[in-house]
Amino acid sequence: SQTIHQWPATLVQPVGSPLSLECTVEGTSNPNLYWYRQAAGRGLQLLFYSVGIGQISSEVPQNLSASRPQDRQFILSSKKLLLSDSGFYLCAWSVGGTSGRHTGELFFGEGSRLTVL
Amino acid sequence: AQKITQTQPGMFVQEKEAVTLDCTYDTSDPSYGLFWYKQPSSGEMIFLIYQGSYDQQNATEGRYSLNFQKARKSANLVISASQLGDSAMYFCAMREGPGDKIIFGKGTRLHILP
């Protein structure tokens, strides 16, 4: 069966420090991968998504970046965190290639709660 | 421009009543998919129901049904016989190609009253 793990679950970082959130999917190949951010009590903002290794689409210009060094690994990074980067970060995957009967349903990780002080 | 609009920030509903959560969307892609997810206070995201743009019938999953009105670009979630455990945040989402981008609305917080 497929599983998704993201870590760390919780972190507190000072302004200006770097960030690395990691997400790994197991039990499937060539998944679509996504990073979302949810501010407190708000909706999910799509940050990045990837349909293959080295293919990253950025949705919101900001100080965050994403990389996909391996087929089932998705990393969210920042060189210098801002206060506004605080939030709940969710990694998700879906079956790649949804032109058929796949719905494209997202499977979410447990989330990473980031507090920037 | 907002592509997924959920106009109800919060709703209070009596237990056992039916509830409709509104969602409108905007896309020029003829092939798209619509989803509803539930997020309890624990933060996990729970998939509820899916509707494809070419599906002729409204999707149903147990107590959940999706009222899909393509011409109006609306995809409302209907929960029949609400339960206390239905209290949560509900998100409408849309997948549009190419690239399988999936975007979410701002959500509706549903409170079920005993």
Give chain A positions within 8 Å (CB) of B30. Answer: none
In this complex, the residue of A43, A51, A103 whose CB is nearest that of residue B52 is A103
User: Which stretches in chain A have pLDDT values below 50?
Assistant: none
Q: Return the residue of B nearest to A110 by Cα.
A: B44
The string of pLDDT tens digits covering residues B50-76 is: 999 999 899 999 999 999 999 999 999
DSSP A56-101: EEE-S-SSEEEEEEETTEEEEEESS--GGG-EEEEEEEE-S-TTSS
**Residue of A90, A98, A99 with shortest CB distance to B45:** A90
Q: Does the pLDDT at position B1 exceed 60?
A: no
Q: How confident is the model at residue B98 (pLDDT cuts 50, 70, 90)?
A: low
pLDDT of residue B2: 62
Q: Is A104–B104 a contact, with Cβ atoms under 8 angstroms apart? A: no
Q: What is the pLDDT of residue A103?
A: 73
Residue A45 CA to residue B74 CA, distance in Å, equals 21
Answer yes or no: do A103 and B33 touch at CB < 8 A: yes
Phi, psi of B86 (to 5 degrees): -80, -10
Q: Which two tokens stand for residue A7?
A: 């870590």
**DSSP code of residue B16:** T
pLDDT band (50, 70, 90) for residue B31:
confident
Least trusted range by pLDDT, from A58-62, A98-102, B14-18, B97-101: A98-102
Please give the residue that has the higher pLDDT: either B45 or A103.
B45
Quote the CA–CA distance of A107 and B55 in Å, as a whole number. 22
Distance of alpha carbon B8 from alpha carbon A12, whole angstroms: 33
Distance of CA B84 to the CA centre of its chain: 18
Total CB pairs under 8 A between chain A and B:
65
CB contact, 8 Å: A50 with chain B?
no
Nearest to B101 among A44, A49, A108 (CB): A49
Range name among A57-61, B18-22, B63-67, B77-81 with the lowest pLDDT average: A57-61
Beta bridge partners of B110: B11, B88
Handedness of CA A4, A20, A7, B107 (dihedral sign): negative
| Residue B105 amino acid letter | G
How many angstroms separate the CA of residue B19 from the nearest CA in chain A? Answer: 20
